[in-house]
A and B are shown apart, each in its own frame.
Chain A
Amino acid sequence: MAEKIVYQRPKSWVEGVHSHYCPGCTHGIIHRMLCETLDELDIQDITTGVAPVGCAALMYGYIDTDFIEAPHGRAPAVATGFKRIRPDRLIFTYQGDGDLASIGMAEIVHAANRSENITVIFVNNAIYGMTGGQMAPTTLLGQKTTTTQSGRDPLRAGYPIRMSEMLASLASPCYIERVSAAKPSHLNSLKKAIRKAFKNQMENKGFSFVEVLSTCPTNWGMRPTDACDWLVNNMIPYYPLGVFKDFD
């Protein structure tokens, strides 16, 4: 009887490597969805990734495409510089909330506003993972981090920024959707969104932005499954899933 393969390493995942992500961290799931998309659209060898500064800084160790490393927050500008010269190639950025919504706020807003024909994967885990759990612009009210030890207080630290909604207020971007990586039932939409964000670029439709709600069990101080529940119970109510803009 012929064997039926139900699960295997995506071709775009670098052979023989395991990621450095903490156990249960959903960065890994998002990476996998990205690789599957590159495989299915057969675009691995015409795609360049722009790596962020954050826990995903070493993502080129796992995803087998060309890569440019960007300074903290500047990935959209790096991608812009590349894509304007090579419109025949695809480019994506993969950025955390510190990277994209704090230090890189200007670059993401202006890339969106020019509707650069790029794909942005925005990993919102409501914390600075890499530097050890400090407050992010997306940290929820009351959420404890190493720099908001009694919980985020809006009087001192403002309110969490909803990036998808904010970018959707601009006239130019093509596609903006928020999805989640926390539950198996979320993964279909996650994959579909990433796929669409690349398809848009292939069809020269312009700026496509996928915000992925993601966990950081280590810095949230939770077991991985509890982190997934916490995301569903606390993040989704404030960051509702859905499509905020779609030019289709």
Chain B
Amino acid sequence: MAKTLMKGTEAIAEAAVQAGCKYFYGYPITPQNEIPEYMSKRLFEVGGVYLQAESEVAASNMILGGGATGERVMTSSSSPGISLMSETLSYIAGQEVPVVVVNVVRAGPGLGGILPSQSDYNQATCGIGHGDFNLIVLAPGSLQETVAMVQKAFDLAQTYRTPVMVLCDGVIGQIMEAVEIPEGHGKNLSHPEKWACGYMRERGGKRNIIRSLFLDPDELEEHNRKLEAKWHEIEKNETSCEKYLTDDAEVVISAFGTVGRIARSAADSLRAEGYKVGLIRPLLVSPFPYKDFETLIPTCKHILDVEMNWGQMIKDVNRGVKYRLPVSFYGRSGGMCPGVEEIEEECRKIFAELS
């Protein structure tokens, strides 16, 4: 597809369609309504299924059932809706069903506000549901990157048979940018006949059971061991991080998603003023690129963590640099976005203290 000017939410939807996703179940919530709206029309054209669920609880269970066919299925929602999906996401992880969830985060807590926020970092990376499991979470910083990550999310979900979240904020959802949406390969990477439901006849009467209930503790521990081993595999293969001008940087800004993009502009203009500033940005926030942060220890003197929340990623940053670098924080909340000048100002203050 040629480069076209598109709104974030629509680019997300079309990227999914191009990646071979023909099945969408969801429930309306701002600021992501254009995704289901687009899908309701588009999936009809490609012979797929769009279904407006009665709630996010139902939508998440529909992707559980849909994912159990082995096909590429997705839902999208925003913060309060994601909270409602958390029980099912735990089942989906335990039952090893590949699904993609797009979360266009809005400001909380509660009904909060509909403006951009990153206040669900903790929920996505370490609190999405009960039980010992992890979610793969991609955090795009631009529209083009969002398109790539949505498409990659389907591959990851099927390769590892696990739920994958694309964690965007309202900026990504609402921004208009020129994007190119590649035709994904759309290939099913999960070998559904091996594990999915609906293939018993083809398998000569051998059935598949998709479950997470193991009443025998030995059996459950074994199952959990398998999930844990899979997670280590994911950590090894999929961890991904952008480092920008960090080689000689004395101050490194850490940020994810849209804030990473804002911080990059701040780093550029501070460099023009002669300050040695860099940027580190996890592309996946789960698994977190701890090793990339570790590489900063010898040269960096101070890390400034910037987020659209009150500092949720900071614990991972500290762990990454092994608590050996000073890490300070600047953030905005409630739908407010940290501006380039605000970040520059914070950096200048740090340099003043360093000298």
Q: Judge whether B137 is part of the interface by a CB distance below 8 angstroms.
A: no
Question: Known contacts A74-B57, A106-B55; is A67 also within 8 Å of B209 by CB?
Answer: yes
CB of B53 within 8 A of CB of A68, answer no
Question: Known contacts A46-B201, A68-B197, A85-B73; is A80 also within 8 Å of B209 by CB?
Answer: no
Which residues of chain B are within 8 angstroms of A66 by Cβ–Cβ distance? 197-200, 207-209
Q: Judge whether A183 is part of the interface by a CB distance below 8 angstroms.
A: no
CB of B207 within 8 A of CB of A81, answer no
CB of A82 within 8 A of CB of B200, answer no
CB of A74 within 8 A of CB of B61, answer yes
CB of B95 within 8 A of CB of A69, answer yes
CB of B213 within 8 A of CB of A71, answer no
CB of B65 within 8 A of CB of A80, answer yes
Interface stretch among A50-58, A164-172, A211-219? Answer: A50-58
CB of B210 within 8 A of CB of A69, answer yes
Interface residues on B, range: 35 or more
Q: What is the 8 Å Cβ interface bit string for chain B, positions 61-101, against chain A (1 contact, 0 not)? A: 11111111101010000000000000110010001000000
Q: Judge whether B316 is part of the interface by a CB distance below 8 angstroms.
A: no
CB of B211 within 8 A of CB of A81, answer no
**Cα distance A65–B58 in the bound complex, in angstroms:** 24
Q: Judge whether B54 is part of the interface by a CB distance below 8 angstroms.
A: yes
Give the interface centre of A65, A68, A71, A89 by most chain B CB atoms within 10 Å: A68
Instruction: From the candidates B51, B55, B210, name the one contacting A80 in the complex (CB within 8 A).
Output: B51
**Cα distance A78–B199 in the bound complex, in angstroms:** 17
CB of A46 within 8 A of CB of B200, answer yes
Within B151-174, which residues are at the interface with A (CB < 8 Å)? none
A89 CB, min distance to chain B CBs, angstroms: 5
Question: Known contacts A68-B197, A69-B95; is A82 also within 8 Å of B68 by CB?
Answer: yes
Instruction: From the candidates B62, B64, B88, B209, name the one contacting A60 in the complex (CB within 8 A).
Output: B209
Which residues of chain A are within 8 angstroms of B57 by Cβ–Cβ distance? 74, 77, 106-107
CB of B197 within 8 A of CB of A77, answer no
Q: Judge whether A79 is part of the interface by a CB distance below 8 angstroms.
A: yes
CB of B211 within 8 A of CB of A60, answer yes
Q: Judge whether A186 is part of the interface by a CB distance below 8 angstroms.
A: no
CB of B64 within 8 A of CB of A70, answer yes
Q: Judge whether B40 is part of the interface by a CB distance below 8 angstroms.
A: no
Instruction: From the candidates A60, A84, A107, name the one contacting B66 in the complex (CB within 8 A).
Output: A84
B92 CB, min distance to chain A CBs, angstroms: 10
Question: Known contacts A45-B200, A58-B213, A81-B66; is A70 also within 8 Å of B205 by CB?
Answer: no
Which residues of chain B are within 8 angstroms of A45 by Cβ–Cβ distance? 200-201, 205, 207
Q: Judge whether B121 is part of the interface by a CB distance below 8 angstroms.
A: no
B305 CB, min distance to chain A CBs, angstroms: 36
**Cα distance A83–B59 in the bound complex, in angstroms:** 14
Q: Judge whether B25 is part of the interface by a CB distance below 8 angstroms.
A: yes
CB of B197 within 8 A of CB of A67, answer yes
CB of B88 within 8 A of CB of A71, answer yes
Which residues of chain A are within 8 angstroms of B95 by Cβ–Cβ distance? 68-69
Which residues of chain A are within 8 angstroms of B325 by Cβ–Cβ distance? none
Question: Known contacts A74-B61, A74-B88, A78-B62; is A85 also within 8 Å of B201 by CB?
Answer: no
Question: Known contacts A74-B57, A74-B58; is A68 also within 8 Å of B64 by CB?
Answer: yes
Binding site for B on A (CB under 8 A): 44-48, 50-51, 57-58, 60, 64-71, 74, 77-86, 89, 106-107, 109-110
Binding site for A on B (CB under 8 A): 23, 25, 49, 51, 53-55, 57-59, 61-69, 71, 73, 87-88, 91, 95, 197-201, 205, 207-213, 215
Known: A74-B58, A78-B61. 5 other contacts (CB 8 A): A68-B210, A74-B61, A81-B23, A81-B25, A83-B65
